[in-house]
Amino acid sequence: MTSRVTKKKLIKVTIDGKTCKGEFGDTILKIARAHNIYIPTMCYLTKVEPIASCRMCVVNVEGVEGMILSCQEKAVDGAVITTNNDEIFKQRQNIMKLYDVNHPLECGVCDKSGECDLQNKTMEFEVSAQSFTTKDRHRPVENWGFISYDPTLCIMCEKCVRVCTEIIGDEALAISAGGYNSTIINTKPNGECSECGECMAVCPVGALVSSDFKYSTNAWELTQIPASCSHCSAVCEMNYEVKQKSISNPTEAIFRVTNNFEFSSLCGAGRFGYDFENSNISKDAQAFSKAQDAFKGAQTIRFSATISNEEALMLQKLKERRGIQLVCDEAYGYQSFLNAFSSITGESLYSSNLGKLSKSRGIIIFGARINDDAPMVKYHINMASKHHRARVAYMHPIEDGSIQNIITQFIKYEVGSEEGAAALLAHTLLDEKKVPKKIRAYLDDLDIGHLSAESNIGEEELSQLKRSLLKKAGFTLVVGADLYNHPKAANIAKLLGIIELYSDFELLLVPPATNALGVALICDLDKEASGFTVGYNAQGDFTLSALGGGDLDMPAMNQQEGTFTSLNKQVVPTNAALPYGGYVLNDIISALGHRSEHTIDYTKQLPTGKGYSTIDFDSLPNYYEITGAEHRGYHLASQVCEKSGFIEPVSALPTYDGIVLYQCNEGNQFSPFTYKTKQLNSLPQLKGSQQFAAISKLKEGERVRFALQDIEYLRVFTIDTSMKGTVAINPTYDMGLSAASVSYYRFFQPKFEIMDGNNE
């Protein structure tokens, strides 16, 4: 597959008398859309392969008999295409007549009314009466958790099935074919799918709607606020849709989240976890003056990485002026990792991004429980798997059942042996590659047998991995949060650095928290807090909290404007969806004498030395073109760094015998902010396998207490039969301000204190 590299041939076609240019291999529809020529479609969704179930997009091509489906037919150079005439109109009108047969006339109450494709096209093709009929049968509404499915409204366009398979990779939805009686069936109805809501977003009619949003308001009553999701580092594009809460309570509330589903996706946290605002806050002058005193007396500011670039810059400037230490536990490990990585590659940033990832033919995931850590990355891996048949190798100590369908090889390594695994990976991927003598000597010196035994990665597994990547092009190595706080993180980063530099692989270092990349680039972080500490969404002697309950309230990310640095190495803007009556960080910084009217005044001051541009916040775009071209903020420019890194020999690998806990927020939970939302109300539990229960002597439903880094966890233990091994999963999302203080290697061995069931 070398077509990726070679430049595509340009072609010219005439559509409705207009000469249009396109690339060889483009469909007629794609070229038409790029030139603003309208072809109606019902089932076409840009981000998936053409579905071709509606046949609305028919066009005439001169010299070709009959009508042609423009969504899947590739344009031929010189073709003369007619997109509309009486015959085509009639054809489309007939399709609409058939779609409308027995479609319930409940537009008056339907959630989709006003933004419904069926409604629009019925009007467009002038279908005012039903002329066909068929016998209907009772098809009750099904409830799938966050989503409810009404089969009578469904037009069987298959969009939902396709996104579930091609984009999300859950493969939960399927079609039960049976002519007029066809329906969509959910094979994982009770929360077994990832509950991303993507099927609901793409549904052109009101068949798939949010159970929570259902009937709460009409689409046209909502005001759309373009924003970026603040739950993880993918920082996806989305719109908050706001309206006054109710007649008796005129304060604004977010009713739902929508996105540009033609081209981009959202995970469940983004779509359903939107109401994390810090509400009913007014200006508390007393607390504000205390906050100023706290900042004046502070030796350390500890903050969470769920922070905008502008706020991070404010804190950094404060550090430069006043010598205050900055501690961001979520980003510190990542910053050190990135620095060590850059010291080998000579570039300040990694080279891959989500776009490249979704076009890769070979993918290795290393050190991340990717489906839970960064769902968006998983979706892109799935796209690569589905659209390009990518080989996907998953390297992790714990098997993950939820991505089993997309991975082609699971390589299990021992907890703690990441350094060995990285060395083995470097040895495998750089084999037969041109590398400098020093590195070749280093690789040759590696005791492969020993590393393989210690890390439990079989040599045959590695050779299988190598074989599977033969004759392919376009590789991505996805690196996750397990490695950033590893005791040997720096050396792992350097080993990965040589993979980036000398192999065909491009690396994607997934930031461990929303703006961890931004904080890592903007702030000069310190490892440990000392003295009087001000905590911003983190634990401290004086706390500023957007979660409520702190010494001074702060706006949550849906009440703030600013920018984030995404894992795509992109600076993307977000806007305030909800009003906020209290003080913001800029007020405190201004009161301390560093005046600035708005937080976003800092946007153009972001450090250019780190790749940022001096662009005003208000000039940052945030939209998609009809062709799918993304215009969101700007891309960071990678900076040239000094190649001063030196790879140390792999030290003795630590062993973790017995039971181990893994810090991981599963499913749609990411942080205390997702936990705060109404719909994402999963119970934080310690989840382990049968084997874990046997070794730890914990019973189902038993309450345990354990501590890590002064943070005490109180958990109910549950046995998850789908899990294997001696590693249990411990979430942190319910830990409030402490959740941002986790800076430890993700695997740890706890001392359990079993609590009496009746004792509180």
Partner 1 sequence: MSLEEFKNRNVGQQTYKMVQSDPTPKTGKEQFEQVVRRAFKGELFVGLYVTLREMINALFRGEMHTIKYPFEKLPISPRYRAIHDMLRLLESGHYRCIGCGLCEKICISNCIKMDTRYDENQRKEVSEYTINFGRCIFCGYCAEVCPELAIVHGARYETASEQRASFSLFEDMLTPIDALKLQQEYDGFGAISPNADQNIKKTPLAY
The CB-side HSE value for 398 (13 A sphere, CA atoms) comes to 28
Q: Which of 411, 421, 419, 437 is nearest to 502 (CA)?
A: 437
Q: Strand, helix or coil at 753?
A: strand
For residue 506, how far is the Cα from the chain centroid? 19
Query: Is the Cβ of residue 242 or residue 516 nearer to partner 1 in the bound state?
Result: 242
Is residue 38 close enough to count as binding partner 1 by CB under 8 A?
A: no
Q: How many residues bind partner 1 (CB under 8 A)?
A: 24
Is residue 123 close enough to count as binding partner 1 by CB under 8 A?
A: no
Is residue 126 close enough to count as binding partner 1 by CB under 8 A?
A: no
Query: Is the Cβ of residue 250 or residue 593 nearer to partner 1 in the bound state?
Result: 250
Q: Residues 706, 750: contact at Cβ < 8 Å?
A: yes
- Measured from the Cβ of residue 17, the count of other Cβ atoms closer than 10 Å reads 8
Is residue 683 close enough to count as binding partner 1 by CB under 8 A?
A: no
From the list 47-55, 124-132, 367-375, 612-620, the region that binds partner 1 by CB under 8 A is 124-132
CB of 141 to partner 1, least distance (A): 7
Tokens 């290393």 belong to which residue? 366
Sign of the alpha-carbon torsion through 484, 486, 490, 494 = negative
End-to-end C-alpha distance for the chain, whole angstroms: 63
Query: Is the Cβ of residue 10 or residue 123 nearer to partner 1 in the bound state?
Result: 123
Q: What six digits make up the tokens of 422?
A: 């990285």
Is residue 220 close enough to count as binding partner 1 by CB under 8 A?
A: yes
Q: Which of 67, 76, 98, 141 binds partner 1 (CB under 8 A)?
A: 141
Q: Residues 628, 714: contact at Cβ < 8 Å?
A: no
From the list 217-225, 319-327, 354-362, 676-684, the region that binds partner 1 by CB under 8 A is 217-225
Using CA atoms, how far residue 425 sits from 158, 399, 564, 601, in Å, is 40, 19, 32, 45
Q: Which of 214, 356, 359, 433 binds partner 1 (CB under 8 A)?
A: 214
Is residue 215 close enough to count as binding partner 1 by CB under 8 A?
A: yes
CB of 404 to partner 1, least distance (A): 36
CB of 130 to partner 1, least distance (A): 5
Is residue 120 close enough to count as binding partner 1 by CB under 8 A?
A: no
Sign of the alpha-carbon torsion through 356, 359, 363, 366 = positive
Is residue 218 close enough to count as binding partner 1 by CB under 8 A?
A: yes
**Residues 6 or more apart whose Cβ sits within 8 Å of residue 538:** 302, 303, 304, 328, 329, 737, 740, 741
For residue 40, how far is the Cα from the chain centroid? 31
Query: Is the Cβ of residue 211 or residue 464 nearer to partner 1 in the bound state?
Result: 211
CA angle 38, 42, 47 (to 5 degrees): 85
Query: Is the Cβ of residue 216 or residue 224 nearer to partner 1 in the bound state?
Result: 216
Question: Widest CA span of the chain, in angstroms?
Answer: 83
From the list 212-220, 682-690, 718-726, 744-752, the region that binds partner 1 by CB under 8 A is 212-220
Query: Is the Cβ of residue 3 or residue 216 nearer to partner 1 in the bound state?
Result: 216
Q: Which of 129, 177, 285, 683 binds partner 1 (CB under 8 A)?
A: 129
Q: Which of 177, 247, 470, 652 binds partner 1 (CB under 8 A)?
A: 247
DSSP 166: I
Tokens 């929570």 belong to which residue? 212
Query: Is the Cβ of residue 100 or residue 702 nearer to partner 1 in the bound state?
Result: 100
Q: Which of 2, 133, 721, 759 binds partner 1 (CB under 8 A)?
A: 133
From the list 103-111, 396-404, 485-493, 686-694, the region that binds partner 1 by CB under 8 A is 103-111
Element (H, E) at 631: strand 630-632
Is residue 258 close enough to count as binding partner 1 by CB under 8 A?
A: no
Query: Is the Cβ of residue 120 or residue 339 nearer to partner 1 in the bound state?
Result: 120
| Burial of 247: CB neighbours in 10 Å, binned 0-12, 13-18, 19+ | exposed
Is residue 640 close enough to count as binding partner 1 by CB under 8 A?
A: no
Is residue 248 close enough to count as binding partner 1 by CB under 8 A?
A: yes
- CB-based contacts of 14-17 (< 8 A; 24+ apart in sequence): 14/79, 14/80, 14/81, 15/81, 15/83, 16/81, 16/82, 16/83, 16/84
From the list 132-140, 636-644, 692-700, 725-733, the region that binds partner 1 by CB under 8 A is 132-140
Which residues are at the interface with partner 1 (CB under 8 A)? 107-109, 113, 128-135, 141, 211, 214-218, 220-221, 246-248
